[in-house]
Structure 1
Amino acid sequence: MGDREKELQDLLDSVAAQEGDPATVVVLAQGVTLPHLRNGGVGVELPENLGIPGGRNAGVRWLREHGGVDVVLILDDDGLLPQTDTLRLLREAFTATPRLGIVGFRIADEDGISQRRHVPHLGGAALVSGPVTTFLGGAHAIRMQVIDEVGDFPTQFFYAHEETDFASRALDTGWGIDYRADLVLTHPRTEAARHTVYYRNTGRNRVWLAKRHLPAVLVPVAVYTLVSCAGNGDSKLVGCLYV
């Protein structure tokens, strides 16, 4: 969104410090002007804010047009890669497992603590890696072949649960998703409800998820359950906003 220049430059520095072959770095600005980018980052400015999924789709289109990319890594602009072996570990993971389609990172705050909403498996143990059914928007890598097969992120979602929709389609086509606790993005501790559209979008997009991915006979039950949970304040699944 153009209001985190220092954080963005620090993130670019942490990407440039990675071991091995350098990554192609693209910084997407939605309706704002980008500052000068250090370390060879390419700026792509869109005329308007297309939301999280729309922005990701635009970034993927740019990478396709410029060719030669096998894996897309998406990072929040106020995050930081504290390790220099992150890209090497990612390359090794995708090389070792041909049907691994998506890798989700562990997001940790300034004190090294991961919020429960940032742990995408039922156990809730942030330091336990393994297969999952969704991934975090703030830090994840997707094999380009997966995007080619399952299609774009759902632009109509704008913000919240676009990862869960994409993950469901990837799983349906036989791709695996791993949560890797050893791949860390340091990110300031925040509350999801800080966004004014949080409650509206999470509720609306959960209904859309149910209608898109559940058998028709189960949709009314799922929608009732989701609305009830939201009303009781017990909602656990949230989206991560890219700004």
Structure 2
Amino acid sequence: MPLPRIGVVIVTMGTRPRELDALLASVGKQGVPAARVVLVGNATPLTDVTTDATKIPLDENPGCPGGRNVGLELLRASDDVDVVVELDDDGLLIADDVFYEPELVLRHPRTSPARHAAHYRFTARNRVWLTRRRLPVLLIPVHLGVWVFLSMARMRSLSGARAWWGGFAEGARTPCGPRKPMKWRTVWRMTRLGRPPIL
């Protein structure tokens, strides 16, 4: 029985070049090589990365899942892989038989996404965008005001607060996509169910 053809998607924001180089090297050292490796650059041009992988530099940062999906679409369209391995740029394959080790169990250490300043920035930006797109105009300042108060009350990091306010400003001044606000009937129903859209 032939081995499955492995496709690898690696997503990077270009902020960890040493770790990315080590990961690419560890992928290349696998006993059975990957049929195709795709490197997706979330808002990074990938010009400083030397690799035989297919590079896909994105102008925007769609987040890790969005970047992964771009790579998966490319692999799907190529139709030359059976199994896909998705890796973050700070991953490392510590053995040369990782792709084909049936006993292997992968675990990510218990860590909070709040350890990265980008977490605060994207959370704030995305919340502002979502609020601008989905809430009636009269509720936008109420919702954002309550959310600012709660977020700042919970904030434990000065660098996180700076990143959060940067994301908030970005969400307020950049396009949020097409507006499709919920109807007031929906607002009332959510409120009756104990989930008023101001929290």
Q: Tell me the TM-score normalized by structure 1.
A: 0.40
Q: Tell me the TM-score normalized by structure 2.
A: 0.48
From the two aligned structures, give the one with the greater helix fraction: 2
From the two aligned structures, give the one with the greater strand fraction: 1
Greater Rg by CA: 2
